[in-house]
């Protein structure tokens, strides 16, 4: 049986939380979504939370809430899932990329600063920048915040990998250094709601707009209406929104899982420590983690010799180890090449892609399974 690179952990408490909703009067648009949002707010310190049906939806409405539209420019990194870039295109904006730091694999502050200065001189500064906390390792958010103040752009943290992590001593999601933070609750993430996401902010206006956009642009709030009445049935569509709502069923699972997020991240750190020790004498590169931060460790990515990358990847799979690769650089995808991007545009991200392999890491990974993974990987990589 294949050892997956990631998997959900479902308890009887999780199951009961879902069945309680199934036996209730509300399967959606009931009381459980606000409960989940409140728990996320309490855990992260963010004032406002908007739960939605996916992190992709959260990225989309986050961009719209920041008034991203035609003629605007959004920047993110190439080594991310396509959703981090697609959200700008959904809004009719243009997209561009900032290369990564070869050591951290997150957005390079040096590359960002250089690109901003060039964009300023040409009058083409970005409206929004989306740094991605790849693998759960926090980006350097303070320098990004300082650059946002200097150059006047907004920041959306793509923290799809990073719930339970900390930048310095601040919880990821607090949005201390950004306008909006986005989480994912896909089954391979730190916690899951089946499918789902959330957008967190400390700005009430942004929160209000995102909540409006997730449900067709419809409001029952008299203060927002054009022609309010006293009729209890009355509502108004005041914006062009979407059906991005999270159901109470998904929220119940998410709220139950959230109670264990610290335990899950702690277990991931224990697994990572075993990998670190096991690979200490090998020829591969293991993840670099900033001791000033606290990674959520969604992924454990090793880097191997580029000339042996595909052979090692295939051999690990042949041994029943469900390795994965995060990610194929977005700018190399056929759709993005039609937009004018090419191989060679972002060499650090491309070099990372040619060497990276994501090993299994999840709370229920057994120690004997991990020993087997380490043994096979070391034999293949040398050491």
Strand residues in the chain grouped as ranges (E): 48-52, 73-76, 94-97, 128-130, 154-158, 166-167, 170-171, 180-184, 197-201, 218-219, 236-237, 300-303, 356-359
Work out the angle at residue 42's Cα, subtended by the Cα atoms of residues 37 and 47, and round it to the nearest 5 degrees: 75
Q: Can you give the pLDDT at residue 137?
A: 98
The phi and psi torsions of 97 (rounded to 5 degrees) equal -130, 155
> Is a pLDDT exceeding 90 seen at residue 281?
no
| Contact call for residues 4 and 360 (beta carbons, < 8 A) | yes
The strand order across the sheet containing 197-201 reads 48-52, 197-201, 180-184, 154-158, 128-130, 73-76, 94-97
Per-residue pLDDT tens over the stretch 238-264: 999 999 999 999 999 999 999 999 999
Q: Mean of the pLDDT values across residues 229-239?
A: 94
Percent of the chain clearing pLDDT 90 (strictly above) = 98
Q: Assess whether pLDDT exceeds 90 at residue 382.
A: no
Residues 20-35 as b/e (b if ≥16 CB within 10 A, e otherwise) read: ebeeeeeeeebebbeb
Confidence class for position 1, pLDDT limits 50, 70, 90: confident
pLDDT in tens, 119-158: 999 999 999 999 999 999 999 999 999 999 999 999 999 9
Cα end-to-end span (Å), the chain = 26
pLDDT digits (tens, 9 = 90+) for 22-63: 999 999 999 999 999 999 999 999 999 999 999 999 999 999
Confidence of residue 383 (pLDDT cuts 50, 70, 90): low
Please answer whether residues 106 and 134 qualify as being in contact, where contact means their C-beta atoms are separated by less than 8 angstroms: yes
Domains defined for the chain, CATH in brackets: 12-258 (3.40.640.10), 261-381 (3.90.1150.10)
- Nearest-angstrom CA–CA distance, 208 and 219: 10
């Amino acid at each position: 049986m294949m050892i997956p690179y990631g998997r959900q952990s479902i308890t009887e408490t999780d199951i009961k939380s879902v069945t309680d909703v199934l036996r209730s009067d509300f399967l959606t648009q009931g009381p459980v979504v606000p409960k989940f949002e409140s728990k996320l707010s309490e855990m992260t310190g963010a004032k406002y939370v908007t739960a939605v049906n996916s992190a992709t939806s959260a990225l989309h409405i986050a961009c719209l809430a920041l008034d991203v539209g035609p003629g605007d420019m959004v920047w993110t990194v190439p080594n991310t899932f396509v959703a981090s870039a697609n959200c700008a295109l959904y809004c009719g904006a243009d997209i561009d990329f900032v290369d990564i730091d070869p050591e951290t694999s997150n957005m390079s502050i040096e590359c960002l600063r250089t690109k901003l200065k060039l964009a300023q001189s040409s009058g083409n500064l970005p409206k929004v920048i989306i740094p991605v906390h790849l693998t759960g390792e926090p980006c350097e958010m303070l320098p990004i915040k300082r650059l946002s103040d200097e150059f006047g752009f907004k920041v959306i943290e793509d923290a799809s990998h990073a719930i339970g992590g900390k930048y310095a001593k601040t919880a990821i999601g607090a949005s201390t250094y950004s306008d909006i933070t986005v989480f994912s609750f896909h089954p391979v993430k730190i916690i899951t709601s089946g499918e789902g996401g959330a957008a967190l902010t400390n700005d009430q206006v942004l929160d209000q707009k995102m909540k409006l956009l997730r449900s067709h642009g419809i409001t029952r709030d008299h203060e927002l209406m054009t022609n309010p009445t006293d009729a209890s049935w009355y509502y108004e569509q005041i914006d062009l929104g979407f059906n991005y709502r999270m159901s109470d069923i998904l929220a119940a699972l998410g709220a139950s899982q959230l109670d264990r997020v610290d335990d899950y991240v702690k277990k991931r750190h224990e697994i990572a420590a075993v990998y670190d020790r096991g690979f200490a004498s090998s020829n591969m590169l293991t993840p670099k983690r900033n001791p000033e931060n606290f990674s959520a460790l969604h992924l454990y990515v090793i880097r191997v010799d580029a000339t042996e990358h595909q052979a090692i990847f295939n051999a690990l799979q042949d041994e029943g180890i469900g390795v994965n690769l995060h990610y194929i650089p977005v700018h190399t995808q056929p759709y993005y090449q039609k937009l004018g991007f090419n191989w060679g545009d972002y060499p650090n991200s491309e070099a990372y892609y040619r060497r990276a392999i994501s090993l299994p890491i999840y709370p229920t990974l057994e120690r004997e399974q991990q020993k087997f993974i380490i043994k096979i990987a070391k034999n293949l990589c040398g050491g």
